[in-house]
Copies of this chain bind each other. A is one copy, B any other.
Amino acid sequence: MPTIKDIAKHANVSICTVSRYLNNNIVVKKQTEERILKAIDELGYVPNMVAQSLKRNRTQNVAVILPRINNMYYSEMTAGISQRLLQSHYNLFIFEVGNAERTEQEILMSMRENMVAGVIFMGQSQDYSFRESLHMLLDRGIPAVYMNRVVKPDGCPVIYPDFFRASELAAAHLVDTGKRRLALVHQLSDEALIARHRSRFSVPALAAGLDEPLLVYAEHGLSQSDACLNQLEAQEVDGVFVLNEILAARLTKALVRRGKRIPEQIGVIGLGNSVISSITVPELTGVDLKNHELGVRGAELMLAQIEGRPFEPLTVIEPSLLKRESTLMPSAVKVGC
């Protein structure tokens, strides 16, 4: 592998002229430039980022730490990150920590060992890992971004979709389509999150003069005999928002098997807008959390920090509702008009 040294020799200039020319730090004579270019071409020179990193004390590699890469939400975000980083000639490291065979300390040490330019922490909304050890990075000047986690900014920028707005959008749409008895189905364990979802979900219902919506916890392994379904039936629920796309699909299936007509008897909305929602029968109305955009914007927060540009400490992405078959068409008469 030829080095700038070889280029310099071949072009009859000094090493540093080559280096500075390659880094655009200098204006060289036309003739010199041609000689350098010719040498690079003839010798097949490829710059060595490792040596550069050692010298500059920083790589062009950004690490993403996530629970599982084979999860559509995370992989969509990752795709957004990847795309944005590539544009700016940064590389993407993936660290899967789901199996938890590595401690936080070990992971952070790995970040330092590899001199990453920055770290993006991706996780569920209620994921609080790395909150303590984060400052070990920040203190050493390694920027970080929290992505998809609903936490207050504390030392590094935070970006997540407005999960609670999603609940509100869903409730509003159910109300708009004439539903009178709403329920919020979830599998969360974080009480604070549940409370926030519930309160936002209630807003459109209460505004329309409806009862306080039901809050239903769905056990894992939903089947036809589930308590969750019985509860919906007993309470005569006619509109439900499920805080998980796959769960929404399973619930839909279970409802259909119980003979419920969707959307006439019960409207269903899922949180998410992947291929899942377009495969169920009926197809699911869903709230799109804009995972790809989240990734792109998160990567931009990272780049802003690395390159010393200003950035927002908190970014909340507005979700959007996608209407499909599992809800009725909104009635012409809007609530409150």
Residues of A within 8 A of B (CB): 1, 46-51, 53-54, 59, 61, 68-72, 75-76, 78-79, 82-83, 86, 91-96, 99, 101-102, 109-110, 112-115, 140, 246, 249-250, 253, 256, 275-276, 279-281, 292
Contact = CB atoms under 8 A, between A and B. Distances in A.
A314 B241 CA distance: 49
Contacts of A70: 72, 75-76, 78-79, 292
A79 B98 CA distance: 10
A79 B54 contact: no
Nearest to A93: B91
A292 B53 CA distance: 33
A264 B43 CA distance: 68
Given A1-B140, A69-B78, A78-B94, A279 B246 contact: yes
Nearest to A102: B86
Copies in the complex: 2
B250 A279 contact: yes
A243 to B, nearest CB: 17
B49 A114 contact: yes
Contacts of A249: 279
A70 B72 CA distance: 6
10 contacts: A48-B54, A50-B54, A61-B93, A68-B79, A69-B69, A83-B96, A91-B93, A93-B93, A253-B279, A280-B280
A90 to B, nearest CB: 11
Contacts of A53: 50
